[in-house]
Chains A and B, each alone.
Chain A
Amino acid sequence: MRTSDVHYPRDLASALDLLRKRPGALVMAGGTEILREQGGRGISLPPEVVCVHELPELRKAGLTERFLEIGAAATLSEILELGESALPPILAEALSLVANPAIRNLATIGGNIACRARFMDAWPALACLDAIAELRDAGGSTWMNVNRLAGEDRRPAFPEGALVTRFRIPLERWDAYALKKIGPKDYPDPETAVFAFAARVEKGILSEMRLAFAGETAFRSNAAEARMIGLGVPLSEREREAAGEAFRADAAFLPEAQALRFGSLVDAALDLLGR
């Protein structure tokens, strides 16, 4: 049975200092990701654990006309309780599909995004919204677009040694959106994945379109999206077919079964723009 040293830093500065001094330490907020696959009698943690769920800097929320800011240690339930007027519907939908309400009371948005094993349910919605995450380490802080948390290999690329502290989510008007979860819903299964889609139409022209899909790997294709901008809405059948093919081609890296399902989701989203 391993014994771990558990640290409760009082503020962000002490937390960052601790992480600098103890490079292999585990950051724990809700702990749901860390514990969800430990079915044994005892729990096994690395030798050093740094608890961040109570850091005041990570629990603030703020709302302006242009964006919503949420602390990384906000639980998914707390975020959902911000309500319709504050929370973009595509993000609300994504968070409400995570596991069950009890787990959402523990799981944090930071933990959801910082997962290195796979992409969790919040990523596609945040990616679609072009949300940015503040990452801090001993060297300082940077704001990084959530899309850049997917690496070249399409797997999670959350930087080593960094602590995510808050998210800034642009609040924009969307004319059509969809958020769909496929595979087992109550558990992050290898087959589980989330599809997010949002589109804006101005004067009958598609002015913005975003489509993200992630499970164990992540998909986002700026090229395929860019090709759609400027098309007249409703899209013709030919245009939808061509777009569907373009997205499928860019998603060819997905495992076959998942690629087939991704294709259906893309077709259904494009159908939304075809009416």
Chain B
Amino acid sequence: MLHVITIRSPIARGSVRSIEFPSMPSGYRAILPGDIPGRNRIAAFAADIPILAREMVRYVGEPVALIAGPDPIVLESLAEMVKVDCEEEEPAFEWQSFSSSRVVAKRVATAGDPDLAFSITPAVHEETYRSGAMDYSYSEPQGAAAAYDYDKIAIWCATQWPYQVRDSVAQALGCRAEEVSVRPTRLGVHLDGKLWYPSLLACHAAIAAVACGRPAKLMLTRQEDFLYSTKGAQCAVSMRAALGPGNDLLAMDVHIALNVGAYAPLAEEMLSQAVLASTGAYRCPNLRVEGYAVSTNAPPLGAFGGLGAAHALFAIESHANRLASASGEDPADWKARNIAKKGSALMTGEVLREEPPYAQILERLAKASDYRRKHACYELVRKRRSGKSDGPLRGIGLAFAFQAAGQFMSGEKSGTYSVEVGLDKDLKVLIKTSAAAGGSGVLDVWRQTASAALGVPAENVRVAPADTDDSPNSGPITLSRGVTVVNRLVENACAAIQKRRFRDPLPLSARSAYRVPKPITWEDGRVRGSLFDAAAWAGAAVELEIDPWTLEPRPLGLWLCVDGGLIVSPERASSAMRSGCADALGACLSRRLDPGSGKASEYFRHGLPSLAEIPPIAVDFLKPIRKSPAKGIGELPFDTVPAAFLTAISQAAGARFSSLPVPSEDIVRALESA
């Protein structure tokens, strides 16, 4: 087996003039774009990404060549000696002010007459909320391996979408898709970072294997992964809001800038999600939202715990909390009054068919966290405080969010996703789906579903390891599809078997298919497609204290209440929500990335926060209403916790923070200027 190392662009923007390799010992060779048998491109959603950039490079670290050989340490020394000679152009890193040439996607939504509304209201509240630029900190290192297996080329990698890998590799090798066999390896926590990037690694391993005629394995060091692979996008949401006479939301003017880095495969989806979530679930009769996805010379920046709604929800919830406090009202009450009711038409023109369960969620959350009393108490302390030592530095914040269902991405080719279920003579069930690559959590859900539908014990239900030779294409595994789309397909396939079961002898198998709907499209500022049908809802409360010595925030408690519809496995779901909350809270405490800075030592400055910093987390699920389907809930911690945290730390410090993490020196300044 040969190891493979990537040779990368040293510049953020420009062209490659030449690549000079040192003399290679026997058994070591370089692999260049010319060695790619098929197309030197992968189709990653809406973007066309070079496998090995030949002329133009668009981010520091972009792959331009590979070297392969038997010893990885020798390879590493050789890689250090490679000279990539480039003609450098001025890179574009600025994304909050930009020229139209860098706009990759634009979305506008309007309602009523915001200009008029702003002109007649005295109090306008403005703020820009910044979020994002997160590292995925995957459970496992990234890489891929490729080898001939008789007449096929076998690929091993961890991926959210095995069929994407298969099609990319087939295209790169110029062979038929059936000649590529993708055998997904175990996938840890992915937070949506592995929707397409593994296809790039798989292509690298595949072309190396083909060029060298030997099995090839490419593993990124964590440092390389940190510096050069895809990261969570950066977002700035500028909000201007006007309150009407009853302190209700009268008008909003929102400007969203999303840094999507180079190539921007998911830009449209992310921007759409961000714009659509920018007013939360509040009624806003006069509205203008303008969103821009801006490309820069950072590595491709994409989804992180959801496609983009989290950025907007962070902004609207934080701003709503601030609007309420500015008029001396408890945000919980303000939100209760301003939330859209059943029958309201939202920004998209969609009419809400169900009442958002805000009241029930708030009631349980407030009870569990003692929010009302604490909020009032901490507000009092905040208002009276004149210095650091005047009372405890505590705060509590609430945030409310939804996770929209039925989102599809424009890069999903039209076609069908399917699942196959088989029931054998011994009443053992086998589920086949490419989504099995997604990890053990959701497998239990399918096993329960099949067990219930076919009346067999759950221990008798097995999910076949995902393998593109055998498992049908069930689409990309994002945080919600496993529980919703794929679960429904399992259910339907089982139902089909049940129908035939007492007529036809075992073994029986059935395939259930689902035509990929058109993605939510945007026409004339109106959206086609429903966002809120079967949306999941949640509220979070975060209480924290600022340590009087270090002035660092110390979370004291986190409460999450979720309306996730039918929860197939409550214990499993609670645990998943708690670990999601721990991740989301960790993100509030960790420093952000500077994507594209490419400074090698930055890698060492970013790590997961210590578990000791995570406070007790209480998760509560609302009882589902009858016939409620299972809903995707995985994104909800990221949609709620940051805004709740920002509000809590602002209250504790008596300041108005607008991004996370809050540097302790800013807390000092806020307290000293009180």
Using a CB–CB distance below 8 Å, which chain A residues touch chain B? 1, 36-37, 39-42, 178, 180-182, 184-187, 189-190, 195, 256-258, 260-261, 263-265, 267-268, 271
Name which residue of chain A comes closest to B3, CB basis: A41
Interface size of B by CB at 8 A reads 28
B662 vs chain A, min Cβ distance (A): 12
Determine whether B601 belongs to the interface, using a CB cutoff of 8 Å to chain A.
yes
B-chain residues with CB within 8 Å of residue A37 when the two chains form the complex: 601, 604
How far in angstroms is the closest Cβ of chain B from A146?
Answer: 23
The answer to the question of B669 belonging to the interface, with a C-beta cut-off of 8 Å to chain A, is yes
B222, A39: Cβ atoms under 8 Å? yes
Q: Which residue on B lies nearest to A195, using beta carbons?
A: B549
Which residues in chain B, 219-242, are within 8 Å of chain A measured between CB atoms?
Answer: 221-223
Q: In the complex the two chains form, what is the Cα distance from A256 to B668 in whole Å?
A: 11
Q: Is B570 an interface residue (CB 8 A)?
A: no
How near does chain A come to B469, taking the closest CB pair, in angstroms? 33
- CA distance in complex: A183, B549 (Å): 12
Contacts A260-B665, A264-B388 hold; do A40 and B76 have CB atoms under 8 A apart?
Answer: yes
- Residues of B within 8 Å of A265, CB to CB, are 549-550
Per-residue A-contact encoding for B82-106, CB less than 8 Å = 1, 0 else? 0000000000000000000000000
Report B74 CB to chain A, min CB distance, Å: 6
> Contacting B550 at CB < 8 Å: which of A41, A180, A258?
A180
Contact present for A256 and B604 (CB under 8 Å):
no
Is the pair B389, A40 in contact by a Cβ cutoff of 8 Å? no
A187 contacts which of B75, B222, B550, B604 (Cβ < 8 Å)?
A: B604
Whether the Cβ atoms of B76 and A1 lie closer than 8 Å is yes
How far is the CB of A265 from the nearest CB of chain B, in Å?
6
Tell me if B's interface is mostly helix, strand, loop or mixed: helix
Which single member of A39, A186, A195, A268 contacts B548 (CB below 8 Å)?
A268
Given A42-B77, A257-B663, A261-B551, check contact A186 B610 (CB 8 Å): yes
Q: B548's closest neighbor in chain A, by CB?
A: A268
20 other A-B residue contacts (CB within 8 Å) besides A42-B73, A261-B550, A264-B548: A1-B76, A37-B604, A39-B222, A41-B76, A41-B221, A42-B72, A180-B549, A181-B550, A182-B550, A182-B552, A182-B664, A184-B605, A184-B607, A187-B604, A190-B605, A260-B668, A261-B668, A264-B549, A264-B550, A265-B550
> What 1/0 flags go to B656-674 for Cβ under 8 Å of A?
0000000111001100000
A39 touches B610 (CB 8 A): no
| Interchain pairs with CB closer than 8 A, number | 71
Residue on A nearest B219 in the bound complex, by CB = A41
Contact yes or no, B223 A39, CB < 8 A: yes
Query: Which 10 A-B residue pairings sit nearest by Cβ, starting from the closest?
Result: A39-B223, A42-B73, A257-B665, A1-B77, A260-B668, A260-B665, A268-B549, A41-B76, A41-B72, A182-B550
- Annotate B584-606 by CB proximity to A: 1 below 8 A, 0 otherwise: 00000000000000001101110
Separation of A43 and B603 alpha carbons in the complex (Å): 17
Q: How far is the CA of A93 from the CA of B73 in the complex (A)?
A: 40
When distances are taken between beta carbons in the complex, the residues of chain B under 8 Å from A267 are 388
Residues in chain B near residue A271, CB distance under 8 A: 389
| Complex contacts, A260 vs chain B, CB 8 Å | 664-665, 668-669
Minimal beta-carbon separation of A84 from chain B (angstroms): 21
* Residue from the list B551, B603, B664 in contact with A39, Cβ < 8 A: B603
- Nearest residue (CB) in B for A271 is B389
Q: How far is the CB of B142 from chain A (nearest CB, A)?
A: 14
Q: Which of B507-549 contact A (CB under 8 A)?
A: 548-549
CB of A52 to closest CB in B, whole Å: 25
Please, which residue of chain B has its CB at the minimum distance from the CB of A265?
Answer: B549
Chain A contact residues, majority secondary structure: mixed
Contact of B74 among A1, A187, A256 (CB under 8 A): A1
**Which one of A40, A42, A186, A263 lies within 8 Å of B668 (CB-CB)?**
A263
What's the least CB distance linking A83 to chain B, in Å?
Answer: 22
Contact residues in B for A1 (Cβ distance below 8 Å):
73-74, 76-77
> Shortest beta-carbon distance, A155 to chain B, in Å?
18
| Chain A to chain B contacts (Cβ below 8 Å), 19 pairs | A1-B73, A37-B601, A39-B603, A40-B221, A41-B75, A41-B76, A42-B73, A42-B76, A180-B549, A180-B550, A186-B607, A187-B604, A187-B607, A189-B604, A257-B665, A264-B549, A264-B668, A265-B549, A268-B548
Cβ contact within 8 Å between A185 and B605: no
From B547, which residue of chain A is reached at the shortest CB distance? A180
Contact string against A for B residues 633-674, beta-carbon threshold 8 Å, 1 for contact and 0 otherwise: 000000000000000000000000000000111001100000
> Is the Cβ of A264 less than 8 Å from the Cβ of B551?
yes
User: Which A residues are CB-close (under 8 A) to B610?
Assistant: 185-186
Bound complex: CA A261 to CA B547 (Å): 12
Q: Which residues of chain A are near B389, meaning CB under 8 Å?
A: 271
B8 CB, nearest partner CB in chain A, Å: 14
Min CB distance, A117 to chain B, in Å? 11
Q: Bound state CA distance, A71 and B135, in angstroms?
A: 41
User: What chain A residues lie within 8 Å of B603 (beta carbons)?
Assistant: 39
Chain A residues whose CB sits within 8 angstroms of the CB of B388 once the complex forms? 264, 267
Nearest CB in chain A: distance from B407 CB, A = 36
Rounded to whole Å, the gap between the CB of B660 and the closest CB of chain A is: 15
Known: A1-B76, A268-B549. A256 touches B665 (CB 8 A): yes
Q: Which of B475-521 contact A (CB under 8 A)?
A: none
Q: Closest approach, in angstroms, between the C-beta of A168 and any C-beta of chain B?
A: 29
Shortest distance from the beta carbon of A127 to any chain B beta carbon, whole Å: 19
In the assembly, what is the distance between CA of A41 and CA of B76, in Å? 7
Nearest neighbor of A189 in chain B, beta-carbon distance: B605
Which B residues touch A263, using CB under 8 A? 668
Shortest CB–CB separation between residue B459 and chain A, in angstroms? 37
Q: How far is the CB of A252 from chain B (nearest CB, A)?
A: 15
Most buried by B among A1, A41, A185, A189: A41
Residues of A within 8 A of B605 (CB): 184, 187, 189-190
Q: How far is the CB of B27 from chain A (nearest CB, A)?
A: 15
Shortest beta-carbon distance from B254 to chain A in Å: 32
Q: Given the complex, which residues of A lie within 8 Å of B552, measured CB to CB?
A: 182
From B76, B610, B664, residue with most partner A Cβ within 10 Å: B664
A271 to B610, CA, bound (A): 29
A180, B665: Cα distance in complex, Å = 16
With both chains docked as a complex, state the minimum distance between the C-beta of A197 and any C-beta of chain B, in angstroms.
Answer: 10
Q: B495 → chain A, closest Cβ, in Å?
A: 51
Least CB distance from A4 to B in Å reads 13
For residue A39, which residue of chain B has the nearest CB?
B223
